Amino acid sequence: MITHAMLLLALVTPGAPGDRLGDAVTVDHVFGHLKALQAIADAHGGNRAAGLPGYDASAAYVASKLRDAGYTVELQPFAFDFYRELAPALVRGSHAYKDARTMHFSGSGDVTARPQRAGLGCTASDFTGFVPGRIALADRGTCTFEEKAKAATAAGAKALVVIDPKETFDGSAGHPQHLPVVAVGPDTGEELGGLRRLRVMTRTESEQRITHNVIAQTPGEGRVFMVGSHLDSRQEGPGINDNGSGSAAVLEVALRTARLHPRRPVRFAWWGGEELGLLGSQHYVASLTPAERKQIRFYVNLDMIASPNYKFQIYDGDNSDGLGGGPFPKGSAGVERTLQRYFVGHGLPYAGKAFDGRSDYGPFIAAGIPAGGLSTGAEQLKTEDEAETFGGVAGEPLDGCYHQACDSLGNVDRKALEVNSAALANFVSHYAWPKS
Ligand SMILES: [Zn+2]
């Protein structure tokens, strides 16, 4: 017996590979990768940050899935400045001073010595008469903390205390230092110079480490286009929306694309060290020869695609929304239009997002490579208008767990994840299986 449903099925032509990609990429599979990334964070101290085992395990997970799907995987190494504080600073004279803070990139150490003032601590002349082995006290200002740390090291100081007479503050010594560098505010600064003995203790890890980008490409003729996302989290948390979400969608699309044998080559990338300043994508773009750069048609970036209070955003590649940023390499407008097609076709709202280079497409557009991408938002508050358009809560951040420990599986909006994963599959189909 021929049913109505069977007749209808017979009328549907078998899907082209490009259409099949959209069907194959399901939110359940994408969510499965997120669960795996959460489990990796849980097993490695709660984060997946560059230079720590949670990142390396994330990269190994992505690489092994890719290999299973037939890819040859490149793990592109690069060095970066790693830093983390293991315990709060201790500065103790007659008592422990409460306003002491470890400076970023401070060395680790426990020093007890006589403190000695060194003015601003910027130059060798500030350290004239400084007795090596003592703790240098320098006033905040005039030069960078890094310059103060270098001058103090050169003068033989065993630790450096930078004093601000007005406020408690945080600072960065620029790059990994060997000596402890701490900041103190007005409560402490006054007393220190008169002390005969001072103890300064910091517990940090401050050194160069190696991390990796994960890169894989399908076979195929002609120029390549790239799809990427950063795989690292902050040290504060597991980074499941930021950016497990983008990484999981790119991974699932990559796995399915390989099985459908695209006509045009697609290169997928998972960047390391984004949270430390786009380090992985910067390294990658800088490592390309001019000829290799020309071979890249464009780059599409996914960063945070499942924000709990989401709005669908597509990077404004031609400044048509007047949001600023740039540069706007020619071709970025086309990427934007193609990404928009999925939303238009499904009656979904979307907004432009400033092309400000605040994620891994930044180094690409800086090198003249067209780019675009998707993001559902970070710490920005949702406006009344946006709540009307996208739903969600006005006056609340788009992602209230941005860069925090609570950016876990529970911080993921499944609908946003589904829509953006499908939009990416649709986009890849369009270019990997061109109609003409
Ligand atoms: Zn991010």
pTM (predicted TM-score): 0.92
Do 344 and 395 share a domain, yes or no?
Answer: yes
| Ligand 1: centre distance to CA 398 (Å) | 13
Do 136 and 200 share a domain, yes or no?
Answer: yes
How confident is the model over 85-139, as pLDDT tens digits? 999 999 998 888 888 999 999 999 999 999 999 999 999 999 999 999 999 999 9
CATH of the domain at 271: 3.40.630.10
Do 252 and 290 share a domain, yes or no?
Answer: yes
Any long-range contacts for 38-43 (C-beta under 8 Å, 24+ apart)? 38/238, 38/240, 38/244, 38/408, 38/409, 41/233, 41/237, 41/238, 41/239, 41/240, 41/408, 42/238
Do 395 and 428 share a domain, yes or no?
Answer: yes
Contact criterion met (CB below 8 Å) for 373 and 359: yes
Do 138 and 37 share a domain, yes or no?
Answer: no
For 297, the 3-state DSSP assignment is: strand
Do 89 and 62 share a domain, yes or no?
Answer: no
| Ligand 1: centre distance to CA 249 (Å) | 14
| Ligand 1: centre distance to CA 293 (Å) | 24
Residue 1, domain member (yes or no): no
Contact criterion met (CB below 8 Å) for 103 and 174: no
Domain end point (choices 206, 232, 253): 206
Do 223 and 108 share a domain, yes or no?
Answer: no
How many alpha carbons fall within 13 Å on the CB side of residue 284?
A: 32
CATH of the domain at 119: 3.50.30.30
Contact criterion met (CB below 8 Å) for 398 and 307: yes
Residue 213, domain member (yes or no): no
| Ligand 1: centre distance to CA 294 (Å) | 27
Residue 194, domain member (yes or no): yes
| Ligand 1: centre distance to CA 402 (Å) | 9
User: Which residue among 252, 274, 275, 418 is the active-site one?
Assistant: 274
What are the respective helix, strand and coil percentages of the chain, to the nearest 5? 35, 25, 40
Reported as a pLDDT band with limits 50, 70 and 90, residue 15 is low
Q: How many other C-beta atoms are found inside a 10 Å radius of the C-beta of residue 174?
A: 16
Residue 5, domain member (yes or no): no
How confident is the model over 316-332, as pLDDT tens digits? 999 999 898 999 999 99
Do 200 and 251 share a domain, yes or no?
Answer: no
Do 106 and 36 share a domain, yes or no?
Answer: no
Count of structural domains, the chain: 2
Instruction: Residue 89: give the domain boundaries.
Output: 83-206
Domain end point (choices 157, 180, 206): 206
CA distance 398 to 206: 33
Domain end point (choices 177, 206, 235): 206
Q: Is 274 a catalytic residue?
A: yes
pLDDT tops 60 at residue 7: no
Do 377 and 270 share a domain, yes or no?
Answer: yes
How confident is the model over 140-185, as pLDDT tens digits? 999 999 999 999 999 999 999 999 989 989 999 999 999 999 999 8
| Ligand 1: centre distance to CA 178 (Å) | 30
Do 122 and 238 share a domain, yes or no?
Answer: no
